[in-house]
Amino acid sequence: MLKAVLIVLGIIIIIACGYGVYHSRLLKAKNNAEMEKYRKGQIVLDKNFGRVLVVYYSKSGNTKKVAEIIKEKTNGDIYEIEIDVNYSNGFVKTAIEARKQTKTKKYPELKNALPDFTAYDLIFIGSPVWSYTVTPPVLSFLQSADLSGKTVVPFAAFEGNAGNFFKDFKDNAGNAKVLDGFTVFSALKENQTALENKITDFLNGIDIL
């Protein structure tokens, strides 16, 4: 009996792992296909957004990279969301800690004073996708910041599944005017040209009126 249970368990684990690998390859292929058009040439920014602020939280550098490109392209200012107590190392530990904060709505304390939002016409806010939603540090920022009347563009670094990210972002952004956002696949940081082109293409498509 025990042997049979172990065999069934083994088969389930093999199928689950196989599906995981297949799914991540599928996402990579989808991303590659989407990015093909951005790999050559240089897309030029044809918009002026006025005074721009780029806000971001990043644990392993991907969102930071996107934020820095937006800052550079728009000639904006940048503000990094830093938290008092950092997450533990390792995916599982971080996921558990973050999930607890999201569930209880007890978000981490911000380390630095907030910027003066009145000085800006457009605010980009970036976060990695964690467990299909916005990271607690960015939720903490959204809770603390008064963005009433401000136009905000969310963006996210992810591995292919943004889940409820943009809906959750909007639900937590108070009275800000939240425009459509965009995602950047983590693997993209390996291709600077494609990354810059994708971001510039997105920026050109923003309609702030």
Please report, as ranges, the residues that interact with ligand FMN according to CB under 6 A.
Answer: 58-64, 91, 94-95, 98, 128-132, 157-161, 163, 186
Residue 131 or 191: which CB sits closer to ligand FMN?
A: 131
Shortest Å distance, C-beta 109 to ligand FMN: 19
Shortest Å distance, C-beta 149 to ligand FMN: 28
Please name which of 55, 47, 206 lies closest in space to residue 123, comparing C-alpha atoms.
Answer: 55
Packing angle, helices 136-144 and 91-104, rounded to 10: 30
Shortest Å distance, C-beta 2 to ligand FMN: 35
> Residue 90's CB: how many other CB atoms inside 10 A?
9
Shortest Å distance, C-beta 68 to ligand FMN: 11
Q: Which residues of 29-40 are buried (b: 16+ CB within 10 A; e: fewer)?
A: eebeeebeebee
Could you give the count of Cα atoms lying within 13 Å of 185 in the half-sphere of its Cβ? Answer: 19
Residue 102 or 151: which CB sits closer to ligand FMN?
A: 102
Residue 64 or 150: which CB sits closer to ligand FMN?
A: 64
- Residue 109: DSSP 8-state: P
Shortest Å distance, C-beta 23 to ligand FMN: 11
Q: How far is CA 30 from CA 123, 142, 166, 179, 187, in A?
A: 29, 31, 20, 25, 12
Shortest Å distance, C-beta 21 to ligand FMN: 16
> Residue 71's CB: how many other CB atoms inside 10 A?
18
> Residue 89's CB: how many other CB atoms inside 10 A?
8
Cα angle: 70, vertex 75, 79; to 5 degrees: 65
